[in-house]
A and B are shown apart, each in its own frame.
Chain A
Amino acid sequence: MPSPLTDSRYPIDNVAALIDVMHQDREYALRFRDHAEDHVTLRLRRQFYRAPPALVEDAFNEAFMNLLRSRTFKDEMFQQGRPASGWSAIELVTHVLGGYLFVSARHELNRHWRKHGTGDDPDDAAHEQDHYNPSDMLRDDSEHSDPARYVESVQLVRQVRLCMERLDADDRQALDMYLEQVPIRDIAHHLKEDREANMKTRLHRIRQRVIDCAKRRLR
């Protein structure tokens, strides 16, 4: 990952200029896309705990491409607070487009969920109150608009991911299955646990082990 000091910066004023820059600098384009993907999907997954990762990623991709194709995002948002040297890829996400992409992707996720989901989304009612209209959204006021807090939270998630990889095969499989929304009784059956309650205890211990490991690595 490039250092923020050497990361390219461009004085981007609108979506059309962003597209021109991405044509010109493919590395910048991919960095911007990847930062946006992690920023939006992690936030969505925290809110929609039961959404499968594939659905969350699809929702982000639709929102991202809609942004580039429609070019309806307000130009003044690129100009507010723009550093004299221009926007780096991560700043473009945390300062300018992250909030818009999040709202837009959440709308796509709700749409997918209704179309392909297994039932009502528990968060639906809250989302309906948002009166979806991302072009009206001026500023992302959440903690995700603060690059330092955002990077800190992503670091924790990355450490958790590394610690999940260190679990033994059965525990890793149990955790992956649970996070992919496989019912606990099915996980218990698959891993030959006698009772569902034992499987819950095991998952509880796995969670504690992974979080302790991540905290140790961050110290």
Chain B
Amino acid sequence: MTPSDDRIFAYLADELSLAERTAFETDLAREPALRQALDEWSTLAQANQLAYNERRRGVRHAEFLDALNALPRQSPTAAPRATRPRWLSWILGAPTGARRSPLLPMGWGFAALFAAIIAWPPPQDDFATTRGAAATCVQWSVDLPDGLDAATLRAVLTQYDVRLANGPDAAGHFALAAPRESTIREAIQALGATAIEALPAGACPVRTR
């Protein structure tokens, strides 16, 4: 360790006298290596902050969403609509709430017709219940809010026809599965849960009646 390093530790700990501090800051302007070492300690402190932020994110999300729910809306219908690049809208469709083209229902009609032909005979349920003919389900790992009770969870999953595929894992996250991503997103929103990541699609879990 050089004497400069010793001074950096003293400077960062605010252990220098005013004169020593002034001299150190003058040296900082003259010595790039000294400046770089100080910058590197700052970057390490930022990394320490980032790690802390990420550890606390689940709790902070829940607190933020609670606080957001308490904030009044300007108007229930006045929220600006999401926009997407035109080329993306052709692929993904218009975002929720956006004005749709009058031609869009025709497009979906053709899509539905083709889907019906391809999938004939139609399945009795979105979730296949017979072994060997399992439908594919989109799956998302989610963080359920701490205060969620079982009855609410069951009611929301039934309402949106979404299943609990797995969980909790080591991080306390659950896997939700549904044939359509949109229904999972709606269920996540209704539950006040946090979407963690998309999981590989898999066979739809069997419905228990």
Contacts and interface: CB of A to CB of B under 8 A. Distances in A.
Contact of A20 (B5, B79, B92): B79
Given A24-B97, A161-B51, A19 B73 contact: yes
B14 A50 contact: yes
A76 B153 CA distance: 43
Interface stretch (B83-91, B104-112, B174-182): B83-91
A53 B47 contact: no
Interface string B185-196: 100110000110
A207 B9 contact: no
A12 B20 CA distance: 50
A22 B68 CA distance: 8
B74 A164 contact: no
A101 interface: no
Contacts of A16: 74
A197 B6 CA distance: 8
Interface in A1-57: 5-6, 8-13, 16-17, 19-30, 33-34, 37-38, 41-42, 45-46, 49-50, 53-54, 56-57
Contacts of A34: 57
A68 interface: yes
A10 B81 contact: yes
A10 B82 contact: yes
Given A17-B80, A68-B71, A160 B85 contact: no
Contact of A179 (B44, B73, B96): B44
Contacts of B50: 38, 41-42, 157-158, 161
A56 B83 contact: no
Contacts of A129: none
Contact of A33 (B6, B12, B64): B64
B79 A24 contact: yes
B40 A211 contact: yes
Nearest to B67: A65
B75 A53 contact: no
Contacts, number: 163
Range of interface residues on chain A?
A: 35 or more
A9 B49 contact: no
B184 to A, nearest CB: 12
Find the residue from B14, B40, B53 having the highest chain A CB count within 10 A.
B53
B154 interface: no
B68 A45 contact: no
Given A16-B74, A42-B46, A45-B45, A122 B14 contact: yes
Contact of A53 (B5, B52, B74): B52
A10 B57 contact: no
Range of interface residues on chain B?
A: 35 or more
Contacts of B114: none
Contact of A57 (B47, B53, B84): B53
Nearest to B69: A23
B78 interface: yes
A19 B64 contact: no
Contacts of B40: 207, 211
A17 to B, nearest CB: 6
Contacts of A5: 85, 88
B52 to A, nearest CB: 4
B80 A19 contact: no
Given A20-B79, A53-B48, A86-B80, A160 B68 contact: no
A38 B79 contact: no
Interface of B: 1, 5-6, 9, 12-14, 37, 40-53, 56-57, 60-61, 63-65, 67-68, 71, 73-75, 78-85, 88, 92, 95-97, 185, 188-189, 194-195
Closest 5 CB pairs of A and B: A53-B52, A20-B79, A160-B47, A179-B48, A161-B47
